[in-house]
A and B are shown apart, each in its own frame.
Chain A
Amino acid sequence: MFIALRDLRFARGRFALMGAVVALVALLMVLLTGLATGLADDNVSAIADLPATHLAFSAESGVKFNQSTVTADQWQALRSVPGVADAAPVGNSLFNGHVYADHAQADKARTEVLANGKATSADTAGAPAVDLALFGVEPGSFVAPVQTAGERLAAGSDGVVVSDDLARKKGVKVGDVLVLDRVGLELPVVGITRKANFGHVPVVFAPLQVWQKATFGSTRAVATFVAVRADDAFVPATADQAQRLTTVTRTAAFDGSPGYKEETGTLVMIEGFLYVIAGMLVAAFFTVWTIQRTAEIGLLKALGARTGYVVRDAIGQAAIVLVGATALGLGLGLGLGAAMPGNAPFALKPVPVLGAGALLVVMGLLGSAVSIRRIAKIDPLIALTGGNAGAR
């Protein structure tokens, strides 16, 4: 590192410029990672947080939340499949609605919806409009939400437990009433649970029968999918064949959420390009740098420096620039992320951010490795044949 450190000091302008580029890439990486995590959270956090190992959809629809319908026979049969500890139906539909603190106003709006298809603007005055994903679950089942405020879901009641997101962003509180547009269902808010989103909207957990009523107008014994808690003995293919289901792991089911695959695919592609661009930038910089140092490297070899010594020095130099610049970029990114508005789909988690930083350093080192081949080829004779180490 003797030579590397002095070079860094001597050519600090050039290295600072290169470092700034890497830092900007790292910053962009943090923002993209935050956006990817935030969008994923916004899209499927309710599914990701389900305490289930597998989700079973109807065989006809495949893994599609907006198309699948499973029957009571299917989820009850699943409970007796070997390896399954528990299976619970979950209904899932997207709705719009308004939240009312005033129950009389809610009643009036509901009546209006049932009579004319929608509430008047006078009826909804002061009631925040909300987009929501209604999740129907059996109260007391293992997929029922754990409330952080208020009460839990109760069988035979229309009471709902809403995502903390609704409480924070729309000011919804226990005691308010949610009236679903078009359907005209009036759902009292009885509890708040931790943040749960699906399809970029907050989740409202309701008893399964309430969800059935909202979705079908009657309490048909169906749901969207079955959440399964199983151990290694569970063979999804066997159950699928017997019950005409498509069962996948919980994480594999994310792709069934509308737009999830496309969103994550786009972001992963952008991130991939950024990694490749970062690697190529570093490769170009260190290749030019090595060409500029050819005479010096030839001299070092003539004086007895082994190729391994010179290579270690060069890698050390690249590592210092990359780690320093990446740390700076990550720091800036974390600062910028903290300043993001609360309603932006942005979430920073340590593992993805540190992973992105590490991958950036690795890609940069791979890029710098291109110049190492060149270092290995430099002949010590260059020191004698007109090589002037001063010519930089």
Chain B
Amino acid sequence: MSQTGAAPILEAADVRKVYRTGTQEVEALRGISLAITPGEMVMVMGPSGNGKTTMLNCLSGLDDIDGGTVHVDGDDIHEMSDAARTTHRAERMGFIFQSFNLIPVFSAAENTELPLLVTGVKPKEARDRARAMLDRVGLGNRFDHRPTELSGGEQQRVAIARALVSHPAIVWADEPTGNLDSQTAEAVLALLHEVHDEGQTLVIVTHDRGIGATGTRLVEVRDGRITYDGSPHAADLGAR
């Protein structure tokens, strides 16, 4: 369901995902349908183990699906070959992880330029863009610092810079503040709002009701289904 009336970037229809362990089957997604339009900041909430992260993985193309379709800019990403989907992911998706997932042997600039280098951007251009993006997230003086020389908040800012550096259509963030203290989490959330205000589309999985309330749209996932999709202000977050 589009919330703004603009043409959606992503359209998921009846997406199903089943995990199989031996003879056991767990239906993680039971028919997810969702459309995301440019400029949205979609907060995905729900109890643990109910399919939020699985939905993120399947809609972003990180994981395969067992039924349904996911179109990004009109292309069905699950009909693509692995290689094509990887390239598509590199060009159109950005990811922010709870545990930052920075490569420890790389400096902040090297970590940030990584998505550009793996897709063939020339090193000089990649470095210039990485530096500009680190400037943008407030780490202009930390280019050459390795992750171990940065605070948790700074590491997540590097991760945000890395997610944004290729100008993706959608940035997916899985519990981006989950490993941060409340003050740092607030600063990181403020940064995410800033980039959203600049027009970036974001999908953020979070447990935090306070964060969930700050998006332009709230999607609640329970038992592999979307049980709420609408304004975060209309939702009774306290009861969810």
A residues in contact with B82, CB < 8 Å: 307
A residues in contact with B89, CB < 8 Å: 302, 304
Q: Kindly report which residue of chain A lies nearest to residue B123, judged by CB atoms.
A: A2
A residues in contact with B123, CB < 8 Å: 2
Q: How far is it, in angstroms, between the C-alpha of A11 and the C-alpha of B97 when the chains are bound?
A: 25
Cβ–Cβ contact A303 & B104, under 8 A:
no
B residues in contact with A384, CB < 8 Å: 53, 56-57, 62, 95, 97, 174
Cβ–Cβ contact A304 & B119, under 8 A:
yes
Whether A304 touches B87, Cβ cut-off 8 Å, given contacts A384-B62, A384-B97, is yes
A residues in contact with B62, CB < 8 Å: 302, 380-381, 384
Q: How far is it, in angstroms, between the C-alpha of A9 and the C-alpha of B106 when the chains are bound?
A: 11
Q: Is B118 an interface residue (CB 8 A)?
A: yes
Q: Which of A374-392 contact B (CB under 8 A)?
A: 380-381, 383-384, 386-390, 392
- Which of A24-32, A190-198, A274-282, A293-301 lies at the binding interface? A293-301
Q: Is A220 an interface residue (CB 8 A)?
A: no
Cβ–Cβ contact A299 & B90, under 8 A:
no
Q: How many residues of A contact B (CB 8 A)?
A: 30
A residues in contact with B95, CB < 8 Å: 302-303, 383-384
Of A9, A11, A381, A390, the contact of B147 (CB 8 Å cutoff): A390
Q: Is B35 an interface residue (CB 8 A)?
A: no
Q: Which of A77-123 contact B (CB under 8 A)?
A: none
Q: Which of B43-94 contact A (CB under 8 A)?
A: 53, 56-57, 62-63, 82-83, 86-87, 89-91, 93
Of B63, B103, B110, the contact of A296 (CB 8 Å cutoff): B103
Q: Is B151 an interface residue (CB 8 A)?
A: no
Q: Is A216 an interface residue (CB 8 A)?
A: no
Cβ–Cβ contact B83 & A306, under 8 A:
yes
Q: How far is it, in angstroms, between the C-alpha of A383 and the C-alpha of B82 when the chains are bound?
A: 17
A residues in contact with B114, CB < 8 Å: 300, 303
Cβ–Cβ contact A307 & B83, under 8 A:
yes
Task: Tell me the smallest distance from the CB of B18 to a CB of chain A, in Å.
Answer: 15
A residues in contact with B224, CB < 8 Å: none
Task: Tell me the smallest distance from the CB of A174 to a CB of chain B, in Å.
Answer: 69
Q: Is A235 an interface residue (CB 8 A)?
A: no
Cβ–Cβ contact A389 & B87, under 8 A:
no
Q: Is B117 an interface residue (CB 8 A)?
A: yes
Cβ–Cβ contact A381 & B86, under 8 A:
no
Cβ–Cβ contact B106 & A6, under 8 A:
yes
Q: Kindly report which residue of chain B lies nearest to residue A7, judged by CB atoms.
A: B105
Q: Is B99 an interface residue (CB 8 A)?
A: yes
Encoded as 1 (CB less than 8 Å from any B CB) or 0, chain A from 348 to 392 comes to 000000000000000000000000000000001101101111101
Task: Tell me the smallest distance from the CB of B62 to a CB of chain A, in Å.
Answer: 6
Task: Tell me the smallest distance from the CB of A302 to a CB of chain B, in Å.
Answer: 6
Cβ–Cβ contact A392 & B118, under 8 A:
no
Q: Is A273 an interface residue (CB 8 A)?
A: no
Cβ–Cβ contact A306 & B105, under 8 A:
no
Cβ–Cβ contact A392 & B53, under 8 A:
no
Q: Which of A1-53 contact B (CB under 8 A)?
A: 2-3, 6-7, 9-11
A residues in contact with B119, CB < 8 Å: 304
Q: Is A289 an interface residue (CB 8 A)?
A: no
Whether A303 touches B147, Cβ cut-off 8 Å, given contacts A380-B62, A384-B97, is no
Cβ–Cβ contact A388 & B117, under 8 A:
no
Of B57, B105, B166, the contact of A10 (CB 8 Å cutoff): B105
A residues in contact with B101, CB < 8 Å: 295, 299, 383, 387-390
Q: How far is it, in angstroms, between the C-alpha of A180 and the C-alpha of B63 when the chains are bound?
A: 86
Q: How large is the interface on B (under 10, 10 to 19, 20 to 34, 35 or more residues)?
A: 20 to 34
Q: How far is it, in angstroms, between the C-alpha of A303 and the C-alpha of B116 when the chains are bound?
A: 9
Q: Kindly report which residue of chain A lies nearest to residue B56, judged by CB atoms.
A: A384
Whether A389 touches B90, Cβ cut-off 8 Å, given contacts A302-B95, A306-B83, is no
A residues in contact with B147, CB < 8 Å: 390
Whether A304 touches B102, Cβ cut-off 8 Å, given contacts A381-B57, A383-B95, A384-B62, is no
Q: Is A305 an interface residue (CB 8 A)?
A: yes
Q: How far is it, in angstroms, between the C-alpha of A295 and the C-alpha of B104 when the chains are bound?
A: 12
Task: Tell me the smallest distance from the CB of A265 to a CB of chain B, in Å.
Answer: 48
Cβ–Cβ contact B63 & A381, under 8 A:
yes
Q: Is B176 an interface residue (CB 8 A)?
A: no
A residues in contact with B56, CB < 8 Å: 384
Of B87, B91, B97, the contact of A383 (CB 8 Å cutoff): B97
Cβ–Cβ contact B86 & A6, under 8 A:
no
Of A6, A300, A302, A383, the contact of B105 (CB 8 Å cutoff): A6
Q: How far is it, in angstroms, between the C-alpha of A306 and the C-alpha of B80 when the chains are bound?
A: 14
Q: Is B16 an interface residue (CB 8 A)?
A: no
Q: How far is it, in angstroms, between the C-alpha of A288 and the C-alpha of B117 when the chains are bound?
A: 26
Q: Is B115 an interface residue (CB 8 A)?
A: yes
Q: Kindly report which residue of chain A lies nearest to residue B88, judged by CB atoms.
A: A304
Q: Is B162 an interface residue (CB 8 A)?
A: yes
B residues in contact with A11, CB < 8 Å: 105
Task: Tell me the smallest distance from the CB of A373 to a CB of chain B, in Å.
Answer: 16
Cβ–Cβ contact B53 & A306, under 8 A:
no
Cβ–Cβ contact A389 & B103, under 8 A:
yes
Task: Tell me the smallest distance from the CB of A9 to a CB of chain B, in Å.
Answer: 8
Q: Kindly report which residue of chain B lies nearest to residue A313, judged by CB atoms.
A: B118
Whether A300 touches B53, Cβ cut-off 8 Å, given contacts A6-B105, A7-B105, A383-B101, is no
| 10 nearest CB pairs, A to B | A304-B90, A305-B118, A10-B105, A303-B115, A390-B104, A389-B101, A306-B86, A299-B101, A388-B99, A304-B89
Some 9 contacts from A to B, beta carbons below 8 A apart, are: A2-B123, A3-B103, A303-B95, A306-B87, A306-B118, A381-B57, A383-B101, A384-B53, A390-B104
Chain A interfacial positions (CB closer than 8 Å to B): 2-3, 6-7, 9-11, 295-296, 299-309, 380-381, 383-384, 386-390, 392
Assuming A2-B117, A303-B115, what are 5 further A-B pairs, CB within 8 angstroms? A302-B89, A304-B89, A304-B118, A308-B83, A389-B102
